[in-house]
A and B are shown apart, each in its own frame.
Chain A
Amino acid sequence: MVTDDELVTSLLAGDEACFAQVVDAWSPGMLRVARAFVATQESAAEVVQDAWLAVIEGIDRFESRSSLKTWVYRILVNTAKRRGTRESKVLPWSSVVPDSGPTVDPADFQGQGEPYPGHWRAFPQPWPTPEQHTLTRETAAHLRAAVDRLPERQRVVLVLRDVEGYEAEEVCSILEITPANQRVLLHRARTSVRQELAGYFESTEVTR
């Protein structure tokens, strides 16, 4: 395992093989994250290209306050944010207050005057239990569509945490958000995706 210091030293020395290796190793994940911001695969590739160009320009200013990869991802996210905002004309990230209010539909729970206020009206229906880690093509398609429908900030946090597998701390560092904010966004995103999966499983149950 090459350390960040060795990597940066090689890159600063103009080691092309080293640069090619890093680009090949990190670009797939970067494309997935970029795709969470922009509408097409082509735009995502452009975002990743621009991010790498910014990395080339800025590598001599890298300070080891974070890992090299986190630093590269932060550049990626900032590049994607600018690009994403241009494409969709949405509010800038920082100006959007995370949604508040319940994440699960209050109608799923009993109200005042019912026997158990605040408890499930009907228990969540059990899901089919596939072999662990195997996803049918159809389930995967629904899962991906559910992710695509999430609001941008939720989608980006969910992709970094659950698809890419970054720790909470790293996601906060990449996106420059607080741990509390990160958790709220992730929780809302996961809740929506679970809800969509539940709807999908229930509908297939009905038609079977």
Chain B
Amino acid sequence: MNCTEFVELVTAFLDGALPEEDEHRVTEHLSGCDGCTTYLAQFRTTVDQLGHLPEDDVLALPATTRDNLMAAFRRKGV
């Protein structure tokens, strides 16, 4: 395996979705390639940081929207 092939397989590798043989080739490549080891670590960091993004907006429905929904639910219930 070379690095161009490795970079296309990272997500499948992280998902554990690679066929056993490909997974073996990936780990073998990683064991000898510092560049791809760094790349994989940065890929993991990226995913991890996406999961820890602080909220930028107020993530709640506006009070009027919530009231509308409750009213609609009540109407449906009748």
A→B interface (CB under 8 Å): 14, 16, 19-20, 23-24, 27-28, 31-32, 35, 41, 45, 48-49, 52-53, 56-57, 102-104, 106, 109, 116-120, 123-124, 126-127, 132-133, 135, 139-140, 143-144, 147, 158, 162-163, 165, 168, 179, 183, 186-187, 190-191, 193-194, 197-198
- Identify the closest chain A residue to B66 (Cβ): A23
Q: Which residues of B contact A104 (CB under 8 A)?
A: 4, 7-8
The answer to whether A118 and B66 touch (CB under 8 A), given A135-B53, A163-B50, is: no
7 pairs of residues in contact across A and B, judged by CB atoms under 8 Å: A23-B69, A23-B70, A28-B59, A119-B2, A132-B48, A191-B7, A191-B43
Kindly provide the distance from the CB of B55 to the nearest chain A CB, expressed in whole angstroms.
8
Write out the residue numbers on chain A whose beta carbons fall within 8 Å of the beta carbon of B3: 109, 118-120
Chain A residue contacts of B21, Cβ below 8 A: none
Quote the shortest CB–CB distance from B51 to chain A (angstroms). 6
Chain B interface, DSSP helix/strand/loop, else mixed: helix
A190 touches B59 (CB 8 A): no
Cβ of B8 and Cβ of A103 under 8 Å apart? yes
Measured between beta carbons, the chain B residues less than 8 angstroms from A183 are 11-12, 15, 17
Is chain A's binding surface mostly helix, strand, loop or mixed? helix
Interface contact A109-B4, CB-CB below 8 Å? yes
Are A190 and B76 touching (Cβ within 8 A)? no
